[in-house]
Amino acid sequence: MDVQSWTLLLVVISFSLYIGIAIWSRAASTSDFYIAGGHVPALANGLATAADWMSAASFLGMAGLLSFTGYDGSVYLMGWTGGYVLLALLLAPYLRKFGKFTVPDFIGDRYYSNITRTVAVICALLVSFTYVAGQMRGVGLVFSRFLEVPINTGVIIGMIIVLFYAVLGGMKGITYTQVAQYCVLIFAFMVPAIFISIQMTGNPVPQLGMGAQVLGEEISLLDKLDGLSEALGFTAYTDGSKSTIDIFCITAALMVGTAGLPHVIVRFFTVPNVRDARKSAGYALLFIAILYTTAPAVAVFARTNLIETVSDQPYDEMPEWFRKWETTGLIVFDDKNQDGRIQYVGDPDKNELTVDPDITVLANPEIANLPNWVIALVAAGGLAAALSTAAGLLLVISTAISHDLIKKQWKPDISDKYELVLARISAVIAVCIAGYFGINPPDFVAATVALAFGLAAASFFPAIILGIFYKKMNKEGATAGMVAGIAIMLYYMLRFKFDMFGGGNSSDWWFGISPEGFGTVAMLLNFIVSLSVSAFFEDPPIEVQEIVENIRLPKGGGRSN
Q: How many CB atoms lie within 10 A of CB 473?
A: 26
Rama region for 229: left / alpha / beta (φ>0; ψ in -120 to 50; rest): alpha
For residue 306, being part of any structural domain is answered with yes
Which residues, other chains included, contact 27 with Cβ-Cβ below 8 Å and sequence gap of 6+? 33, 168, 169, 170, 171, 172, 173, 420
From CA 170, how far away is CA 29, in angstroms rounded? Answer: 9
For residue 272, being part of any structural domain is answered with yes
**How many CA atoms are closer than 13 Å to the CA of 115, on its beta-carbon side?**
10
- Alpha-carbon distances, residue 324 vs 196, 241, 350, 371, 547 (angstroms): 21, 33, 24, 17, 59
The arithmetic mean of pLDDT across residues 127-144, rounded, is 73
CATH number of the structural domain spanning residue 66: 1.20.1730.10
Q: How many CB atoms lie within 10 A of CB 337?
A: 9
Tens of pLDDT, residues 57-91: 677 777 888 888 888 888 888 887 788 778 777 77
For residue 223, being part of any structural domain is answered with no
For residue 66, being part of any structural domain is answered with yes
From CA 66, how far away is CA 347, in angstroms rounded? Answer: 20
Tens of pLDDT, residues 473-514: 999 999 999 999 999 998 998 888 777 777 777 788 898 898
Q: How many CB atoms lie within 10 A of CB 215?
A: 12
The separation between CA 21 and the C-alpha centre of its own chain, rounded to angstroms, equals 23
> Is the distance from CB of 451 to CB of 497 less than 8 angstroms?
yes
pTM for the predicted model, two decimal places? 0.80
> Is the distance from CB of 98 to CB of 271 less than 8 angstroms?
no
Lowest mean pLDDT among 448-457, 505-514, 529-538: 448-457
Q: Which of 315, 235, 277, 284 is nearest to 96 (CA)?
A: 277
From CA 318, how far away is CA 314, in angstroms rounded? Answer: 7
For residue 443, being part of any structural domain is answered with yes
The arithmetic mean of pLDDT across residues 100-129, rounded, is 84
For residue 357, being part of any structural domain is answered with no
Tens of pLDDT, residues 224-271: 999 999 988 888 888 877 888 988 998 998 888 877 777 777 777 778
Q: Which of 194, 237, 224 is nearest to 66 (CA)?
A: 237
For residue 315, being part of any structural domain is answered with no
For residue 237, being part of any structural domain is answered with no
DSSP state of 242: S
DSSP per position, 76-101? HHHHHHHHHHHIIIIIHHHHHHHT-S
Task: Report the pLDDT value the prediction gives residue 524, as an integer from 0 to 100.
Answer: 96
Instruction: Tell me the residue length of the chain.
Output: 561
User: What whole-number percentage of the chain has pLDDT above 70?
Assistant: 90
Q: How confident is the model at residue 557 (pLDDT cuts 50, 70, 90)?
A: very low
The arithmetic mean of pLDDT across residues 119-133, rounded, is 81
SS3 labels along 261-302: CHHHHHHHHCCCCHHHHHHHHHHHHHHHHHHHHHHHHHHHHH
The arithmetic mean of pLDDT across residues 149-177, rounded, is 74
As a whole number of Å, the CA-based R_g of the chain is: 23
Total tally of structural domains belonging to the chain: 1
- Range of the structural domain that residue 88 is part of: 3-203+243-310+363-551
